[in-house]
Structure 1
Amino acid sequence: MNKLDQDSSIDKCTLLVSTYNWPEALELCLESIANQTVIPTEVIIADDGSKDATKAIIEKYNGQLAIKHVWHPDEGFRKCIILNKALHEASTPYIVQIDGDVILDRNFIKDHLQVAEKGCFIRGTRSHIEEDFLPYLFKHKKVDFNFLSKGVKHRFNALRLPMLAGLMIKKKSNSYSVRGCNMGYWLDDFINVNGYNNDLQGWGHEDEELAARFVNMGILKKSVKLRCIQYHIFHPLAARSQENTHEKTIDIVRADGIQRTENGYLQALEEKNA
């Protein structure tokens, strides 16, 4: 692993990457990970039932990165379950979590390690790569972006100014607007709330539900700007038939102060070992 600046908080992390049947995007994501100024200790791919093309991309990068591929059969949108299964393979105390449809700024891991803090989880942001730019993106396999790059929107989120980033940090005891595509947390905290809620199947707000239980446990949301930069690759929206149900679950978690889910990290291990 590359050396960090002396003011860094920690020097090891597990990078958790969720994916499902988009190997072209995952290839760019993994390429951006391989180009990091600080390489994560390990990369765990949480694969919600992808086909062999995804496995081939992962094998391509397994020599450059220490990758663990955790897969289960495709039985619908079961992201929470595969994330829980994947984190049973983690060997470091700190988790940085992203989706497999993002491209990372080359200092993404370095930045996350430097903003990690006990008693907090990290809420990052993202810029977006526009739909019209995708043919060029995939043809040229471009992974070097900055806030001035062609094809980028929401440019402020692509602005990296580490000397000023401390002025933008906000710590709050709330779980709103949390995105699992750019998140950091301590594995012990994750285990203490029993991880993701396996009952939340289908798209929608599983990250906010996890964050709500973090907050109920007394962990602060630490929102970060001007660091931890990533670029989300455009894709059509997923079906949102379960969104209202998931929102109601979050409302109950917040109202009742629920800290642990009854069907989460530990129960996923039982299914994994069955």
Structure 2
Amino acid sequence: MHLSGCSILISTYNWPGALELCLLSILQQTVLPNEIIIADDGSTDETKNLIDSFRKKTVTPIKHIWHKDDGFRKTIISNEAVRNSNYPYIIQTDGDIILHKKFIEEHLQNAEEGFFIRGSRILLTEEVTKNYIHTKNIKVSFLSKGVQNRLNALHSLILSKIILAFSKKTSPGNVIGCNMSFYKNDFIKVNGYNNDITGWGREDGELAARFINSGILKKQVKNLAIAYHLFHGHFSRSRDEINMNILAEVINKKITSCTNGYNNINPVTISS
């Protein structure tokens, strides 16, 4: 589908070693984004310095959207990152992801009015993750060591079409922000991420539920637009029950827009 441009949005927090691999994988895409936007949930200057160094490696504009560290506030900084995007389509990932070289190309090929894309991820082991960060290696594939859910890493258009044909388009389940894309106008329509969801968990599924309630259906893309997730420890899940209740209310009441979201502007620092 023809689009007039796309932004890739990367969420990050204090892991420049992983972010470096993510950015390296973006620079090797078969289709480059029109801009790179980094949604930074309060990292130190080490991350800023890394981003500045990448500005010298690419002509693609890089925007660094930052707010101070005040706990897990991914929803707020993601909303501000989208606000500062200049293109109609947003491809979203995380700073601990190595992208398949056709990640952006295949998101754009599958973009469709009335849908958001739910991609999938492949988990990498702790040992392999440490090695990749140490060697700055981004060459990972279906056959690589340390790939845990290997079937997801099989790059196959035929398999992807079969899975899509049988997937549920009205279920917000298993949506993950590290492999997701949507039209910016659709995001604004539902008032973006819900800023009442703080701490780890459920922010992506809650957004997806409001998309679906608004008539923007889920398009499941597997075995294309592949995302390899570097290993990390678990985040605190102390807010998970509260966030689950917010998600349940959205589903049960068919809520289409949150009250505290994209339209609530928050102070950020922008470097570009």
TM-score band, normalised by shorter chain: over 0.9
Name the CA distance, whole Å, in 2 between partners of 1:85 and 1:18. 11
Name the CA distance, whole Å, in 1 between partners of 2:222 and 2:268. 37
Instruction: Report the number of matched residues.
Output: 265
**Residues 71-86 of structure 1 aligned to structure 2 (within 5 Å):** 71-86=66-81
Name the CA distance, whole Å, in 2 between partners of 1:21 and 1:204. 18
Whether the 8 Å CA contact 1:9–1:115 is kept in 2: the answer is no
Whether the 8 Å CA contact 1:9–1:117 is kept in 2: the answer is no
The amino acid across from 1:265 in the alignment is Y
Q: Deviations over 1:76-106 (max 9, x none)?
A: 1110000001111111111100010000001
Name the CA distance, whole Å, in 2 between partners of 1:208 and 1:164. 25
Whether the 8 Å CA contact 2:94–2:178 is kept in 1: the answer is yes
Whether the 8 Å CA contact 2:66–2:268 is kept in 1: the answer is no
Q: Secondary structure at the match of 1:255?
A: helix
Q: Secondary structure at the match of 2:249?
A: helix
Deviation at 1:163, TM superposition (A): 4.5
User: Equivalent residue for 2:211?
Assistant: 214
1:166 lines up with 2:161 in the alignment: yes
The amino acid across from 2:196 in the alignment is D
Deviation at 1:168, TM superposition (A): 2.2
User: Equivalent residue for 2:82?
Assistant: 87
Deviation at 1:62, TM superposition (A): 1.4
User: Equivalent residue for 1:25?
Assistant: 18
The amino acid across from 2:45 in the alignment is D
Normalising by structure 1, report the TM-score: 0.93
The amino acid across from 1:234 in the alignment is F
Deviation at 1:137, TM superposition (A): 1.1
Deviation at 1:139, TM superposition (A): 1.8
1:60 lines up with 2:78 in the alignment: no
Name the CA distance, whole Å, in 2 between partners of 1:247 and 1:234. 24
The amino acid across from 2:46 in the alignment is A
User: Equivalent residue for 1:204?
Assistant: 201
The amino acid across from 1:130 in the alignment is T
* Structure 2 unaligned residues grouped into runs of 5+: none
Whether the 8 Å CA contact 1:171–1:220 is kept in 2: the answer is no
Which of 226, 248, 251 is the aligned partner of 1:251?
A: 248
Give % identity: 49
Name the CA distance, whole Å, in 2 between partners of 1:102 and 1:124. 13
Q: Which moved more, 1:161-170 or 1:233-242?
A: 161-170
Q: Deviations over 1:149-194 (max 9, x none)?
A: 1121111111111244222213511211110110010100100000
Normalising by structure 2, report the TM-score: 0.94
Whether the 8 Å CA contact 1:12–1:113 is kept in 2: the answer is no
Which of 1, 5, 13 is the aligned partner of 1:12?
A: 5
**Residues 13-162 of structure 1 aligned to structure 2 (within 5 Å):** 13-63=6-56, 64=58, 65-162=60-157
Tell me: CA distance 1:27–1:272, structure 2 relative to 1, closer, same or farther (3 Å).
Answer: closer
Deviation at 1:129, TM superposition (A): 1.2
Which of 174, 177, 181 is the aligned partner of 1:177?
A: 174
Whether the 8 Å CA contact 1:15–1:95 is kept in 2: the answer is yes
**Runs of 4 or more above 6 Å deviation:** none
User: Equivalent residue for 2:233?
Assistant: 236
Name the CA distance, whole Å, in 2 between partners of 1:245 and 1:75. 19
The amino acid across from 1:194 in the alignment is N
Deviation at 1:114, TM superposition (A): 0.3
